[in-house]
């Protein structure tokens, strides 16, 4: 009975964490800063909150395996590329386009994971990857660099590649470190990388921006990621992936409510195709495992 209660609580909290993730795109529009500065302040407040949490809970900061230090730095570089790319795409085009392009990351995992871990490339995954690409292409109104949607997609496609590689890096790190430690060091690395760009960008956050950045960094980044990882004790990673894929849908809905960004019909259809493909992939994977 207690085990069932823990799982129910984890399912509720898991879905709440995905909702929190979905607000990230809104901050890219609300805060008038260059994408690199925006990401810097995000990881500054997030890493600070995670570091404070580790101090309070007496979680060890030491990384005992030397190879993990290199992987954490690589993870920080990939985190930087992921978030800078997606925010730039959102600023160029819309929140919907930013999250739709990000949601294509399973495509890259499909081909990169077998390449790195020497696992078998499944035909089912190739077919799903092709469907995801079709979903992205549906959102493209015309193949012209003058079109903001096309430019947003091209810039945004850096994000899923970086996130796919980050997922593979973290897969190895999770064997020895917990999620909070991984997030802290990767975001700390991202903060160091982005600091020179943020300091020389010229644009400084206003008092309003700082308030939003604190919420952005602490609530939708540090807390959301920590809570999400904690849910994996009672919920399978496959099911968590199903829930996470709903971030695309939530983000488009929130952008309609808070930003009055009405998605194009192509965006709606493209998002539906991508979401259906990702959910199908995760559900069938769960059945196979």
The model's pLDDT over 112-150, given as tens digits with 9 standing for 90+, comes to 777 776 777 777 777 877 887 788 778 766 655 567 877
CB atoms within 10 A of CB 120: 7
Please tell me whether the overall predicted TM-score, pTM, comes out greater than 0.95 for this model: no
Mean pLDDT, rounded, for 200-229: 87
Instruction: Tell me the per-residue pLDDT of 254-269, one tens digit each, with 9 for 90 and over.
Output: 988 998 888 878 878 8
139 compared with 157, residue with greater pLDDT: 157
Orientation angle between helical segments 158-173 and 66-92, nearest 10 degrees: 160
Residue 166: which residues within 8 A CB-CB, separation 6 or more?
75, 78, 79, 82, 186
Per-residue pLDDT band at 240 (split at 50, 70, 90): low
Q: For position 144, what pLDDT does the model report?
A: 58
- Rounded to whole angstroms, what are the CA distances from 230 to 2, 10, 13, 262, 283? 17, 8, 9, 35, 21
pLDDT: is 147 or 19 the higher one?
19
Conformational region of residue 39, where left means phi above 0, alpha means psi within -120 to 50, and beta covers everything else: alpha
Mean pLDDT of the chain: 82
Question: Which of residues 249 and 60 earns the better pLDDT score?
Answer: 60
Rounded to an integer, what distance in angstroms lies between the CA atom of residue 262 and that of residue 96?
9
Neighbour tally for 46: CB within 10 Å = 29
| 141 or 34, higher pLDDT | 34
DSSP designation for 219: I
Q: How confident is the model at residue 174 (pLDDT cuts 50, 70, 90)?
A: confident
Residue 237 tokens read as 């990673």
Range with the lowest mean pLDDT among 3-7, 67-71, 88-92?
Answer: 3-7
> Average pLDDT, stretch 13-23?
86
For 180-193, how does the pLDDT look when each residue is reduced to its tens digit (9 = 90+)? Answer: 898 899 999 999 99
**Residue 237 predicted with pLDDT over 60:** no
Q: Which helix (H) or strand (E) holds 41?
A: helix 35-56
Predicted local distance difference test score (pLDDT) of residue 5: 65
């Amino acid at each position: 009975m207690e085990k069932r209660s823990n799982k129910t609580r984890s399912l509720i909290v898991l879905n709440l964490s995905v909702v929190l993730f979905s607000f990230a795109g809104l901050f890219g529009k609300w805060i008038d800063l260059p994408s690199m500065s925006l990401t810097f302040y995000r990881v500054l407040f997030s890493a600070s909150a995670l570091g404070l949490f580790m101090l309070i809970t007496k979680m060890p900061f030491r990384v005992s395996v030397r190879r993990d230090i290199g992987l954490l730095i690589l993870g920080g570089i990939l985190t930087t590329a992921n978030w800078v790319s997606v925010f730039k795409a959102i600023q160029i085009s819309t929140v919907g386009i930013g999250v739709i392009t990000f949601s294509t990351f399973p495509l890259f995992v499909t081909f990169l994971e077998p390449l790195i871990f020497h696992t078998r490339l499944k035909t089912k995954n190739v077919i799903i990857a092709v469907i995801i690409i079709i979903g992205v292409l549906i959102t493209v109104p015309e193949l012209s660099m003058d079109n903001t949607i096309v430019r947003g997609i091209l810039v945004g496609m850096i994000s899923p590649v970086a996130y796919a590689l980050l997922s593979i890096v973290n897969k190895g790190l999770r064997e020895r470190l917990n999620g909070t430690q991984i997030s802290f060091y990767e975001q700390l690395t991202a903060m160091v990388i982005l600091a020179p760009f943020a300091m020389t960008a010229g644009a400084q956050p206003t008092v309003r921006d700082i308030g939003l950045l604190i919420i952005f960094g602490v609530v939708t980044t540090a807390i959301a990621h920590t809570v999400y990882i904690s849910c994996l004790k009672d919920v399978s990673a496959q099911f968590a992936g199903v829930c996470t894929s709903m971030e695309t849908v939530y983000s488009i809905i929130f952008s309609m409510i808070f930003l009055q960004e009405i998605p194009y019909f192509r965006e709606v259809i493209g998002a539906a195709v991508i979401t259906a493909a990702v959910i199908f992939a995760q559900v069938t994977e769960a059945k196979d495992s």
